[in-house]
Amino acid sequence: MSTTDVKEEKKEAKREQKLSLNQAVLDRNLLDAAERGDLATVQDLVAQGADVANAKDDKFGSTALLWATANGRTATAEWLLSHGASITERNNYGNTALLLAACFGHTATVEWLLSHGASITERNNDVATRL
């Protein structure tokens, strides 16, 4: 392999690392905005490339939809669901959007989730149901 090839490979590796860091920042900001219910910021971040379906926090493994529903941010949850989030996704503890909304007492969000296909028989990893 020539010196030029090695230099090009190093440049490409740096570009990929930078893109990976940028994606991580976008995804983290998406989770934060969903938790706050900041729909305009959620929309902007997704337009910039934040990953609605796969961005997860390190501690709980919760996606933007799970953060939104755990905090009763129904409008944000509705937008996320219509843009690639899954109503059946679970975090590291087996909690779904429905279980989290119910756990934190967000009745309107629970009702909205049920009207959009969430299963009332869901249980988490501890075999707990909040309904």
Tens digit of each residue's pLDDT (9 = 90 or more) over 62-99: 999 999 999 999 999 999 999 999 999 999 999 999 99
Distance between CA atoms of residues 127 and 129, nearest Å? 7
- Domain annotation covers residue 61: yes
For 110, the token pair is: 């629970």
Residue 42 in any domain: the answer is: yes
pLDDT for 19 beyond 70: no
With respect to residue 104, please indicate whether it lies within any of the assigned structural domains.
yes
Q: Report yes or no on 131 lying in a domain.
A: no
In a domain, residue 122? The reply is: no
Residue 121 lies in a domain: no
Separation between Cα atoms, residue 124 and residue 77, nearest integer Å: 20
Torsion angle of the four alpha carbons 76, 79, 85, 90, in this order, in degrees rounded to the nearest 10: 30
Q: Residue 58 maps to which CATH number?
A: 1.25.40.20
Residue 59 lies in a domain: yes
Structural domain total, the chain = 1
Residues 6+ apart with CB under 8 A from 44: none
Query: Could you tell me if residue 20 is inside a domain?
Result: yes
DSSP assignments along the chain, one per residue = --HHHHHHHHHHHHHHHHHHHHHHHHHHHHHHHHHHT-HHHHHHHHHHT--TTT---TTT---HHHHHHHTT-HHHHHHHHTTT--TT---TT---HHHHHHHTT-HHHHHHHHHTT--TT---TT-----
Predicted confidence at residue 61, as pLDDT, reads 98
- Mean pLDDT (the chain) is 90
Range of the domain at 79: 3-115
Residue 23 has φ and ψ, to the nearest 5°, of -65, -40
Kindly tell me if the per-residue pLDDT of 4 is higher than 90. no
pLDDT of residue 21: 65
